[in-house]
Structure 1
């Protein structure tokens, strides 16, 4: 089966004052990938995915998604097209139940109560939270809150799920569970994740993009990236 391009950027640029956080980035993501974005602190990773999700506006360049130019579309319009973005810090409604959190997400694409309930149930099952649907979200462990956030993204039925530091703060057992969840998600959606935990990256990613000073330093399969001298220098030369 021929590969299908899901997302492309051309010359994507974002400046903050005198700092160029993302510098003329050309990037291509194929449908069905689990792509990891790595790089030293300050490399521009979160700014880049903010540009993809529509939470940050570019100064120059274009973003194409599923063949459509979405460069100037706001985040909520991109959600409707199939881009779901989970934050580096949990972004749930702590006073609401797990079921209600998932229903809020599903309501952005569905109108009928039965469909919303079914989507919430399906998303909970996908991340292993089906037994927690009646529980208050704020009472969940941190690891379960992160899974709920992923489930809220899944309730949107995304074509692309963007995860920003998804394993931050998770225990080893929670990380193992998260790996299982992402592999399950990748059966129906393309996954793009920013991740500092290289064990997670090497276990999950089908391809890796390395950012450094706002530019792509290297791209390729995990094995090649691990051997790349420029990548090793970027990590060894500055704090990660």
Structure 2
């Protein structure tokens, strides 16, 4: 039986800032069709690591493969074209544009890759995405007037509009209310039917509810990896991440 190629694979991936190795010789595999969470204390290297995967940063050394293709030096916009979408830790919506126009921009970009943009297809695609995240009623609202939680959902919608094979979510529940978090959990489960999800998240209840597999980073390295139950029982994770408390 042929070996399954991971969707994302890194080997000896390293990124240094001055004397600090933010990502230090990391080997990582991400299976297709999974929800994979990366956790760890502040400064562990999580955001730097996913910035390397998305192309926002380039590594000092090491390799990144996407579905077997070497993308180590591929610029970020090319990685979007091959199917990697990254939502930021801080909202990056276009505040002065409507919700509709924020989503129309990535839809148009995707359709242009396939040839001429048909206005009817664009309109239909925008509302399909807005319906998916529960924001169709806000289509004509200015993005900057939305609540923080709705801006985060809009940013997810902008990522989904690209129809990615891999959606990277960086602290997506930060600033959300309990009700908004519950809605987000259901949304990610629905997204995972069509795309692989890589999630950086501090909220351990969200991580344990969603993740098929968890990678724990500390000081730029992978400290542990496993299922939620394995990570919950890992003494080294409890010590490094929670000072000895329960995960």
Q: TM-score, normalised by structure 2?
A: 0.93
Structure 1 residues 123-142: aligned runs within 5 Å: 123-142=129-148
1:47 matched residue in structure 2 = 48
Do the aligned residues in 1 keep the contact of 2:5 with 2:68 (CA within 8 Å)?
no
d(CA) in 2 for partners of 1:19 and 1:83? 27
1:75 matched residue in structure 2 = 76
The C-alpha deviation readout for 1:88-137, integer Å capped at 9, x for no partner, is: 01110111111100011112211312332222111111111111111111
d(CA) in 1 for partners of 2:241 and 2:215? 14
1:236 matched residue in structure 2 = 242
Q: Which residue of 102, 116, 127 corresponds with 1:121?
A: 127
Structure 1 residues 81-160: aligned runs within 5 Å: 81-111=82-112, 112=117, 113-160=119-166
Structure 1 residues 218-229: aligned runs within 5 Å: 218-229=224-235
- Secondary structure of 1:210's counterpart equals strand
How large is the Cα RMSD of the aligned pairs?
1.4
**TM-fit CA distance, 1:65:** 0.4
- Secondary structure of 1:5's counterpart equals coil
The 10-residue stretch of structure 1 (48-57 or 115-124) with the greater mean CA deviation from structure 2? 115-124
Q: TM-score, normalised by structure 1?
A: 0.96
Paired residues, what number?
A: 238
2:24 aligned with 1:18, yes or no? Answer: no
2:186 aligned with 1:185, yes or no? Answer: no
d(CA) in 2 for partners of 1:114 and 1:67? 36
- Secondary structure of 1:181's counterpart equals helix
Q: Where in structure 2 are there 5+ consecutive unaligned residues?
A: none
Do the aligned residues in 2 keep the contact of 1:3 with 1:31 (CA within 8 Å)?
no
2:182 aligned with 1:176, yes or no? Answer: yes
d(CA) in 2 for partners of 1:234 and 1:76? 36
2:202 matched residue in structure 1 = 196
Q: Where in structure 1 are there 5+ consecutive unaligned residues?
A: none
The C-alpha deviation readout for 1:173-206, integer Å capped at 9, x for no partner, is: 0000100111110010000010000000001101
The 10-residue stretch of structure 1 (137-146 or 40-49) with the greater mean CA deviation from structure 2? 137-146
